[in-house]
Amino acid sequence: MVTIVGARPQFIKAAAVSRAVRTSFPEMIREVIIHTGQHYDDDMSKVFFKEMEIPEPDYYLEVGSGNHGYQTGEIIRRTEETLLAEKPDVVLVYGDTNTTMAGAIAASKLHFPIAHIEAGLRSFNKSMPEEINRIVCDHLSTFLFSPTLTGIKNLIREGFAEHAKPPFSIDNPGIYHCGDVMLDNALYFTDKAEESSHILEELDLKAKEFVLCTLHRNNNTDSALRLNAIMDTLNEISRGRQIQFILPLHPRTAKMLPVILESGLRESIKANPFFRVTAPVTYFDMLLLESRCRMIITDSGGVQKESYFFRKPCLVLRPESEWKELLEAGTAVITDAEPGKIKLAFDLYYSQPPDLFPPLFGDGKAAEFILGELVKFLAPGLVK
Ligand code: UD1
Ligand code: UDP
């Protein structure tokens, strides 16, 4: 089995499956990890392998950053070479990045079956590069593992057969509702994070008295209007309410802020003791921040879900979300980059935090389920 990863959220998702290989299928599955190098800074890559005990990648392709054509093309080219050398029974890809789509293109052209973990998610907004990556990857996959029922519905609407009969293939893929491997991790690692993270002391934060923010989506970072509107609003709320706002900054945003942020706003943020911008934090630090904060404000897909795992209200700095269940449950709200909506939602959630978080993402054993299903098809003789 080959696992293809390259970006931060994929290291985190793959950690759950890699752990399940070692604990539940050590005799049956040999995992080979390909790291495309899409993310490469230590705090965007290495730190997760170490902290979450993911085995060192067997191949590091060093593709790095670039335009979509360059990055996608190089991942296809370099992944193809390694897949030809490894000849895997199945190729695992995660989520919706360029690594996901390029890995799927390389594997499908070589006729290696693909298992897509986080299949079926749709924003219905094809101006997002991730939406294109999701659609292409799903249509090249043999095993579609969807964390939510909305994902399953989306696949059926796109023409996938709900009750396809094995043997599964790229032309007759199997659809599974499997829960979320990110919940597996949140449950598994929270105690370890409690023991080893000192982020609250380091940032002098008190439980329930701070707001956690993340911001990296390209339509926010690359638009002067949106980036200034979001940063101005976070600055204004934190200063006005005298509540700590913590923003661990993705390198994409860190590179754009000095270019795009209006100089008056930059100075105002610098002088605001309630608004702190830091380097990206580790996964354990993130778990601690998420579990102790009062509220989360984000444009991240993964952080939206984690807000739910930790029963925190979430403001979504995007025009829509793939995680419809959270919006329906009323625990997350779309504010886009609109100051009025952000302020209104903040006030509402601050005074009346939601308290109902029915289980939506499985039982913390999604990775075992996924591997169990794959083994049934790929090594039926080994299954009791
Ligand atoms: C990518 C994914 C996005 C995902 C995000 C997770 C695509 C199209 N986008 O976005 O879906 O939500 O990862 O974090 O695949 N950079 C560094 N150091 C790094 C990595 C990136 O400085 O280690 C900077 C570079 O300037 C680079 C920019 O960030 O050009 C963007 O990186 P890229 O991987 O292209 O996209 P992300 O915005 O990270
Ligand atoms: N994350 C982290 N450190 C940070 C920011 C995020 O460990 O400074 C984790 C977060 O807890 C989640 C994942 O990264 O598990 C989400 O990745 P990201 O927001 O980069 O991408 P997305 O989920 O939007 O694709």
Residue 80: pLDDT band with limits 50, 70, 90: very high
Instruction: Provide the edge-to-edge strand list for the sheet that holds 295-298.
Output: 275-278, 244-248, 210-214, 295-298, 314-316, 332-334
CA 52 to chain centre: 15
Residues 6+ apart with CB under 8 A from 320: 123, 124, 125, 334
Q: What are phi and psi of 40, to 5 degrees?
A: -140, -20
Residue-level pLDDT at 355: 95
Is pTM beyond 0.75? Reply is yes
pLDDT, tens only, 264-291: 999 999 999 999 999 999 999 999 999 9
Distance 126 CA to ligand 2 centre (A): 22
Q: How far is residue 28's CA from residue 299's CA, in Å, rounded to a whole number? A: 39
Q: Is the CB of 37 under 6 A from ligand 2?
A: no
pLDDT, tens only, 1-35: 999 999 999 999 999 999 999 999 999 999 999 99
Distance 167 CA to ligand 1 centre (A): 37
Spatial contact of 316 and 304, defined as CB atoms under 8 Å apart: yes
Q: Is the CB of 322 under 6 A from ligand 2?
A: no
Ligand nearest to the CA of 280: 2
Q: How far is residue 61's CA from residue 69's CA, in Å, rounded to a whole number? A: 16
| pLDDT greater than 60 at residue 353 | yes
261 vs 379 pLDDT, higher one: 261
- Mean pLDDT over the full length of the chain: 97
pLDDT, tens only, 202-212: 999 999 999 99
